[in-house]
Amino acid sequence: MTPTRDEARDLSPAGAFDKFLIVVAIMGAAVAILAAIVAFRGDGGGVAAGDVPTQIVDVSLSEFAVQGNFVIESGPTKFEVSNDGSVVHNLMLEGGSSTPDLNAGATASLDVGSLSPGSYVIFCSIAGHREAGMEAALTVMEDAGGSEAAGPGDQVEDVDWADLDRMMTESILAFPAETEGRGNQLLEPEILADGTKEFQLTAAITPWEVSPGNVVDAWTYNGMVPGPMIRVDVGDQVRVVLDNQLPMGTDIHWHGIATPNDMDGVAPLTQTLVESGETFVYEFEALRPAIGMYHAHHHGQMQVPNGLFAVFIIGETPIPRGLTVSGVEIPEDMEVAQEIPLVLNDAGVIGLSLNGKSFPATEPYLGKVGDWVVAHYYNEGLQIHPMHQHQFPQLVFAKDGIPLDQPYWADTLNVAPGERYSVLYQLSEPGVWVWHCHILTHVEREEGMFGMVTAWIVEE
């Protein structure tokens, strides 16, 4: 193919030389720019004189702690944050910025700018996590003339092991501690002329003492956490009048309870939102036995962890009397000495708790050797909780109020959010026997025992 005149000019010696000159010019400009960069940065390749380097602070998040070296110098600061736990966490500088929520194993950088000398607080802002211990003091010192701050492995101060022992012992011996308020109290109905059982519920923000001295603004039904227990028989006509005194709208979902669709409590799909200051009436028939719950559904991520949850029981869930499971016989004539609803929570202003209280304010349970006990676990929190009974194996005989075809024995039972499990066990030995969630950071921290712990006190 014969080249065009322009192509021929480009292929000629003169054209090639012109291109060579252009390339040389470009290379010269690049060298000049590189020289300018080097001159700016200095011979060592660092920042120019007068510039202050950004210090990096490594932070590890876990259940439930914020760990790292938090004594630093003043100046530009960036946190390199890793979630080394098993649930979602984040890191926030109080009054400042925050990382996004981090899944387990994720990392993020948080540039907080230049920090002046003083004291700061960093914490996880996920509901309930700060209250569970995920906060740390950040101390910013005057610039010590370029001296390096302590590294992550350095000890700012020695651990006082004896003091840790003392705090743990004292926290345990404080059980049971008195606090104001008691949740799960049975709500008595008004019996209407046609036999309907009518229950009055008021949703409001009220003070609630979770543990000694820890009074929070809880979102409550009738001023208690959990809200009042409703118990009816199969076949009862139920009428619940909700008076909303919250600052925002709400509704009630009957979790695990059979209702007509327009009573399911999911605004605005099945009903109108119950605005602040308004009332709403729920009416349905108790069709079948149930180990259910009732709780808010509108902005449930806020309203439920903060206290709007409660127990709803219909009829009796059959207990496997006369059954032999793994060689253990349940007597045909066995009588239940106690039936205990135990509501689990781990978030919001209530935080890690059993029936709305945190150890040492959790309720102790009293019994005698030989007593048979039924417990119903209700998880209204955001995490799974492996519930462990010291000494007494638990016969799991129903899930979500539905009897199991094959009951089984369990030492530790995982209860996921929204689940209910019913267990039967016998108090076989005298003594004080601990009953707790077996995620250890849900029950212990450096300041001592707290959270999801209670105990049986069994007498001869």
Give the three-class secondary structure for 253.
Answer: strand
For position 424, what pLDDT does the model report? 98
**pLDDT at residue 31, as a whole number:** 42
Over pLDDT 90: what percentage of the chain? 75
C-alpha–C-alpha distance, residues 23 and 27, integer Å = 6
d(CA 383, CA 406): 26
pLDDT in tens, 100-154: 999 888 999 999 999 999 889 999 998 778 877 889 999 998 764 444 444 444 4
Q: Residue 159 — pLDDT band, cuts 50, 70, 90?
A: confident
Question: pLDDT by residue (tens digit) across 13-57?
Answer: 444 444 444 433 444 444 444 444 434 333 433 444 456 789 999
* Cβ atoms of residues 359 and 452 within 8 Å: yes
Task: State how far the Cα of 107 lies from the Cα of 154, in Å rounded to an integer.
Answer: 23
pLDDT at 29: 46
Looking at residue 155, its pLDDT comes to: 43
Residue 176: exposure state from Cβ atoms within 10 A (0-12, 13-18, ≥19): middle
Strands 365-368 and 394-399: unpaired
pLDDT, tens digit (0-9, with 9 covering 90-100), for 377-410:
999 999 999 999 999 999 999 999 999 999 999 9
Rounded CA-CA distance 24/275 in Å is: 75
Q: Residue 9: what pLDDT?
A: 42
Query: Mean of the pLDDT values across residues 59-82?
Result: 91
The Cα angle at residue 299 between residues 298 and 301, in degrees rounded to 5: 130
| Contact present, 453 and 435 (Cβ < 8 Å) | yes
Overall average pLDDT of the 254-260 stretch? 97
Residue pair 276/246 in contact by the 8 Å Cβ criterion: yes
Identify the pLDDT of residue 34: 40
Mean pLDDT across 449-455: 97
Nearest to 437 by CA among 364, 383, 400, 374: 383
410/157: higher pLDDT: 410
Output the pLDDT for position 63: 80
What domains does the chain contain, in order, with CATH numbers? 23-52 (no CATH), 56-152 (2.60.40.420), 190-459 (2.60.40.420)
Torsion of CA 384, 390, 396, 401, to 10 degrees: -60
Q: Measured between alpha carbons, how far is residue 313 from residues 260, 290, 340, 429 in Å?
A: 18, 6, 12, 30
Per-residue confidence (pLDDT) for residue 157, from 0 to 100: 54
Q: Which of 146-150, 343-347, 351-355, 374-378 has the lowest mean pLDDT?
A: 146-150
Residues 6+ apart with CB under 8 A from 305: 127, 128, 345, 346, 347, 348, 349, 350, 380, 381, 382
**Would the pLDDT of 302 be above 70?**
yes
Cα(210)–Cα(217) distance, integer angstroms: 10
For residues 72 and 147, the answer to whether their CB atoms sit within 8 Å is no
Spatial distance between the Cα atoms of 311 and 254, rounded to a whole number of angstroms: 10
